[in-house]
Amino acid sequence: MAPGHILPVVNMVKLFASRGVKATIVTTPLNAPSIAKSIDRIPSTFPKIDLKILTFPSKEAGLAEGIENVHSVTDRETYIKLLKATSLFQRPLGEAMQELRPHALVADVFFPWATDVASKYGIPRLIFHGTSFFSMCVAESLAKHKPHKNVQSDTEQFIVPGLPDQINLTRLQLSDDTRLGMENDVTKLLTRAKEMEERSFGILVNSFYELEPAYADHYRDVVGNKAWTVGPVTFCGDRAPREDNQECLTWLNRKNPNSVVFCCFGTSTRLSDSQLYEIAMGLEASGQQFIWVVRREKKNGVEEKWLPEGYEERIEEKGLILRGWAPQVLILNHEAVGGFVTHCGWNSVLEGISAGVPMVAWPVFAEQFYNEKLITDLLGIGVGVGCQKWVALVGDFVRREKIEKAVKELMVGEKAEEMRKRAKALGEKASSAVEQGGSSYSDTSALIEELKNYRTLENASSHQM
């Protein structure tokens, strides 16, 4: 129930529709409009994608009306209530399964109870994690070996054991729950989700084999989970320019190739005024041209404390600030964009990779510190901004000097050119993976065949009985 999970699922549904599979998206009233708008734009040659809307149990969970998504959550208590609300979907989802009679149920990892619903109606349940093979392998190793308990301080590095490469982390880069060994509603949910993996049909991964082959193999062969690569599903997203895209696209059209840095922190990150001020100063000091997305609406007649005095006038030619929503995929794929400052959410990382753009890694929370390691240490397509600490939603505070240094390193010099070459090569592999004969195309074909065979075997078994 978060934009970063809903968007790739909707694109994944479009992927299945493109392969002739009939699909229904189960959602809630306030999440439905944006989904409906997206699926209305699919080609007429695809099977129609349906929406099944379930009433959201706000009252039963003690939630205020209008909160059906993490995007509306401002504190941990409300987040826990939202998780509780989703667990109340078990019965209505079961009724929907009885009505729709699907061949399979795909459900987010945060809905572990979906496995019981699928089992009751004799259909396979597939799990969507919304992240990379690499981060899932790191998380599995940390849970199994607990190497962070063997160091003397929060800043001392430890090696994550049992992985194909040497990966170093510190306790500060782990979630508070993991670092402190806390048991709460979230950890209980994730424990149950892990247990459900063993009872589920397998995992759908928004990645492609050529990006992280050692970790795709490790996850399947060592961790022991059945998994299919279906990505990057961003290629199934809507890429048509809209009227409200024109300002930034017109601005970019005036710039030289690979000359602009795009700075965006996703839908959930909430940066403080002081951090926004440091970003403004750091971007300006870097001397690079930039587009910067700030998730705040402009306040008419009210001074914006985070914005340095006279800033927008000073940067008029060099920089563009976009407030609120921005067409990230369109911007990343514009030839003028040569770098991406990102919070390392997996959707953004994969969109950057698919566009062939190197990155400044600025992890905030969730599994984003693991994704930073993939970008900087393993793929060599980015530099770290210097974040040291996992802090939910707001992140570690980063000074302007570090921002300036990282942006310059990304955009100027031989190292920048090497990173750009590697990023471009990965972008080409990403595109090839989803084309006919590509690794993700073939994995998707294999999954569809397995689901067909599962239904055939189930029918044969029931007839014998």
Catalytic positions, please? 5, 108
Asked if 167 contacts 138 with a C-beta cutoff of 8 angstroms, the reply is yes
E strands present in 164-214? 168-169, 202-205
62: left (phi over 0), alpha (psi -120 to 50) or beta: left
Cα separation, 413 vs 223, in Å, equals 40
Tokens of 362: 């600025």
Give me the amino acid identity at 425: A
Cα separation, 344 vs 264, in Å, equals 10
Give the position of tokens 């490469």: 165
Q: Environment class of residue 101 by beta-carbon count within 10 Å: exposed (0-12), middle (13-18) or buried (19+)?
A: exposed
Is 411 in contact with 383 (CB distance < 8 Å)? Answer: no
Distance between CA atoms of residues 277 and 257, nearest Å: 28
Closest CA to 429 of 167, 293, 288, 235: 235
Residue 48 and residue 9: Cα distance in Å, rounded? 16
